[in-house]
Structure 1
């Protein structure tokens, strides 16, 4: 059975930040220090500890390529400095494959402006501010990969591209399968996804390039517009789904209790405002569940369905159940 090594890291930004801090200090810096003493690249023949450092370093760089970068992670985890350590310090000797991975990460994150305009779920982003300390070690797991003919996770299965990881405590989680490349979701338009396509979970929709977030309802850029949104029954008191026409409230709308003004626009709301400004169409997905379809005729009974491109045509202000103004729709 084929297996892949992964870290048992949660999806929250706080956990990711802690993991980065630890690996930067205990793996990347340690590898550099050892190579400096040896005056050459560290190899597995230098002992079990060196072999473990090399293994963890490679898995860490591969993991970094799967996360959504944010300016907070860039700064708090000193990511540019870490990548610089691997690629541009002549007194340190890192393996060529690690150098290539570090250069590719730097180029990728630079092209994204380190996530400065990306929409990030606000509750997740807020946690970054309180993640303390110098990080903690996350266990590394040898996780089995699904066979290609698996009825669910195989090439023809509804969960193709996803793998199941079971941590040391027995907790099960779903991850993107590193051996099955995901389609980029940061693209405007249909992204070669047929209207009516159905996805079992948001993570599957992320892998297929339909929606760029496994958590947030809005994915996009605050400068160029939203790539996609997910409609669900989450804010039935605010949103109105009429099929061809959607009234979609931005983040924080339901929390606002100030009767005199709208809540500040979130990154997601600003992305929708940018869509209005740029005229770029937005992919609309609808997410259903056991009870949600009873409240909204247009939602699927389960899973997530791609319903085509919509245009943002205007901004309105409504009142939520607190009787206070909402964020612009």
Structure 2
């Protein structure tokens, strides 16, 4: 691995950090080849889940551009599939080197996407689990026909097996707002984790990004950038699956939610990863939310 090359995430979920120094002792469970995101999230207090050291997370197979490799095992990268304004190439940050591997030169068009909230990759059909908790929206390259309700997939140089019921063929489904909302609705109750992008911990813009990613639609990672990348619709004309954006007077957008109701004149409702409740909820907009609601937007695929 060297600066200027591309690499690929080889764990189910890799965490992108603001700096290596931001990693706390409690974060050890999110590091290394054996990263265990469910136990990492469960081990943290509500306050620890909103520490500002985490910028985002990357899914298995996600490509990064390597900018710097340090001798201590940390790599400064740009997440190419998570657009943002900080870097025109993608979302920048630091990742543990042992969570990366070589990026394949060829791209196979026979691609599957995980549709289950999470799934496991196995050594053989019904065999031992080699990679647990592979996330919703993860792209996998098909590597043959089904055997005993399992499909072979290629992950780097390995041929692993995934339950056929947990994946669908990518493409051809369209990116309808209501479809993305249906995906997001499956994450109700998931803990709020700043920078999170998994079914075990997620933040407001991560919920939107991941829900649309399931359909191959690449939205920016942060809420303000998502507003810039989507089309404004007049308040009062929004439909389920559209996005609400929130900002205080004179300030940058700080929150996003997905419209669920109130489109017929009733109270506005949304599904969102709520910082104050520390989980994904569907609820009517409070008066405080109404006071900071600045726009409704629609994702145009």
Is TM-score (shorter-chain normalized) higher than 0.5? no
- Give the helix-richer structure, 1 or 2: 1
Larger Rg: 1
- TM score, norm. by length of structure 1: 0.29
- TM score, norm. by length of structure 2: 0.30
- Give the strand-richer structure, 1 or 2: 2
